[in-house]
Chain A
Amino acid sequence: MSTTTRTFGGGYGDAARPRVGFFTDTSVCIGCKACEVACKEWNLVPPDGPLGFTGNSYDNTMALGADTWRHVAFVEQEVPGAGAGALQPAHPDLAAEAAAAAGLDGPPSAKDGMRWLMSSDVCKHCSSAACLEVCPTGALFRTEFGTVVVQGDVCNGCGYCVPACPFGVIDRREDDGRVFKCTLCYDRLSDGMEPACAHACPTDSIQFGDLDQLRAAADQRLATLHADGVSDARLYLRDEADGIGGAGAFFLLLDEPEVYGLPPDPVSTTRDLPRLWRAAGLAAGALVAGLAVAFAGGRR
């Protein structure tokens, strides 16, 4: 596996900085949502709609969007035969009553349990960022830190980046007309500070730093977890050979990515652009040929 990190210093000359990013280690996320709050407060992100309850565990934020730049997912899973380490009802009699009320045969058996997966999602700041590549105005750009940021004074709200993102991160703020997403706290980076979410994270689930170092730390963490028998642990978006050229924000997950609402094998759509233009060229040629045939038949 490649250990050299792709850098983007090209256009910046002496101002270019090492590429930075996030490593989100979900195995130590406690679902406190401090990252969501810190992000909103620091970046003055407006409320994302009326308060409501989704019924999806403790996740009432639901998804990343124009007004949600960090999103904590809560997954509740039944773990058959999880044994003593798993969550057990504190009051078995109440659990039995609740199970009866719910029409179940009985409470979860003593040897079954459940586990909670929590993960703080964020813009991936892809190496091959489809949002940036399809943006027709140049509003989306690559910063000197290798991150992907929207210039609010340039964006004209065309909305092309929205369906281009393979993660569903970026979205338009309807009362504003422009698109918004995580900036990896560009303003804080410029002053040598870490992003607000990483700063607020109490368990270091969100780690900020030079991408090289984060990748090394992640590899080490994965090895530790595997040695401890957590065979489900896997790194997501760490590999530069993937469809987005590796991400500036990558993750350690304890289940398949789609369980957390993440695409299992994301690809930057612009990778296929040469093939798409070739198809358009053929179609345009066919149109010209069709016209030639139409005129070959004479005037009447």
Chain B
Amino acid sequence: MSGAPEPPTPGRSGKGQRVADRPGVSMVPPAEFRSYYGRPILKAPIWTDEVPAYYFAGGLAGASASLALGARLTGNHRLASGALTASAAGILASLPLLADDLGRPERFYHMLRVFKPTSPMNLGSWLLTAAGPAAVGAALADRLGILPRLGRAAEVVAGVLGPGLATYTGVLVADTAVPVWHEAGDQLPVVFAAGAAASAGAAATLLTPAADAGPARRLAVGGALADLAAVEVMRRRLGDLGTPYERPPARRFANLARGFMTAGALAVGLGGRRRTGAAAGAALILAGAACQRFAVHKAGIISAADPAYVVGPQRARLAARDGSRHQPATGA
């Protein structure tokens, strides 16, 4: 890593002062941050770009399944069809993305040899195993007009599991030692849920006649606004620990996400009843949701690779503890 990393000062709840953008300005004297030749303490995630792409596709699939169920329950069958198609597409995109990232793809089914509540990835695999075939089956039954009862039952299964599918990935990334992920554990599921809602609304807006797509447009705009707000809250709470979002390559994705989401929300909100407005806005929102997942992914890699983000908060924690209790007998 080139350049002196900015040591984060956690516990500082104020707005991050964009330290990374002010070279030469260090918030903590270098003497307070010690390391072993500046080498990383953590191993950066080895997940490739397929993984954030899956967060996007899986979120789209989950929220779309719930949108479809809502549409069916309110008698909006054209919207249900559009959302089911989006959900099935999300599922079908997810499977190769997930298998490809494994070191041993032919062993993907080992995920299901145990049921392990301490592993979000294991629970997610079970969730996907239940919701995936249900969403694809429901979409097929709907498009082909076959097996209506089974199709409706599958819609209920997928629709009920959908919110879980859209949020568990936030727990998955937060349940690591990566500081910018772990310390955002309260916000990441919200960020992922909002992005999933926005993408499901956008996809259904694209796939449904404008006259029936009102709920989808509202979900797209509401989800986009919620996503923008949730990301802002997350970065404020992280303070200086969140500076990986201001360093390349995360910064580009974070900026693109914000721009796409804002423009997409405006386009769908103002022009979503017209074909062009709906198409442009929906595409922007989908791109924004995808970019946000990539921003989270890239920020995690930056955060893990820089020992400042690891040592800083842990030192602060120790200092707080030592201030409140006697020095332990074991020292340190």
Contacts and interface: CB of A to CB of B under 8 A. Distances in A.
Contacts of A133: 118-119
B42 interface: yes
B100 to A, nearest CB: 11
Contact of B167 (A137, A159, A253, A280): A280
A234 B322 CA distance: 15
Interface stretch (B250-258, B286-294, B307-315): B307-315
B101 A159 contact: yes
Contacts, number: 275
Nearest to A139: B110
B311 A258 contact: yes
Contact of A273 (B118, B197, B315, B328): B118
A239 interface: yes
B74 A158 contact: no
Interface stretch (A36-44, A194-202, A281-289): A281-289
B103 A134 contact: no
A263 B310 contact: yes
A239 B43 contact: no
B267 interface: no
Contacts of B216: 294
Interface residues of B, number: 89
Nearest to B226: A290
Interface in A32-91: 54, 56, 59, 62-63, 65, 73, 75
Given A136-B122, A177-B103, A164 B163 contact: no
Contacts of B103: 155-159, 172, 174, 176-179
B311 A291 contact: no
B149 interface: no
Given A283-B170, A295-B74, A165 B189 contact: no
A213 interface: no
B56 interface: no
Contact of B113 (A59, A138, A160, A290): A138
A172 B103 CA distance: 8
B171 interface: yes
A163 B304 contact: yes
A7 interface: no
B215 A297 contact: yes
A168 B211 contact: no
Contacts of A275: 185-186
B104 A155 contact: yes
Interface string B104-131: 1101101101101011111001000000
Contacts of A10: none
Interface stretch (A19-27, A99-107, A182-190, A264-272): A264-272
Q: Bin the interface of chain A by size.
A: 35 or more
Contacts of B76: 299
A171 interface: yes
Contact of A287 (B34, B44, B116, B193): B193
Given A160-B119, A297-B214, A137 B328 contact: no
B331 A168 contact: no
B104 A266 contact: no
16 contacts: A63-B39, A134-B176, A136-B121, A155-B104, A156-B107, A158-B111, A162-B46, A163-B300, A165-B43, A165-B177, A170-B43, A172-B103, A174-B103, A273-B120, A290-B222, A291-B215
In the A-B complex, the 8 residue pairs with the smallest Cβ-Cβ separation, listed nearest first, are A157-B103, A177-B103, A234-B331, A261-B36, A156-B107, A284-B163, A136-B122, A283-B189
Interface of A: 1, 54, 56, 59, 62-63, 65, 73, 75, 130, 133-139, 154-160, 162-172, 174, 176-179, 222, 233-236, 238-239, 253, 256-267, 269-270, 272-273, 275-277, 279-280, 282-288, 290-295, 297-300
Given A263-B310, A276-B189, A286-B193, 11 more contacts: A156-B104, A156-B108, A157-B103, A163-B43, A168-B41, A172-B46, A235-B330, A259-B35, A275-B186, A279-B186, A287-B166
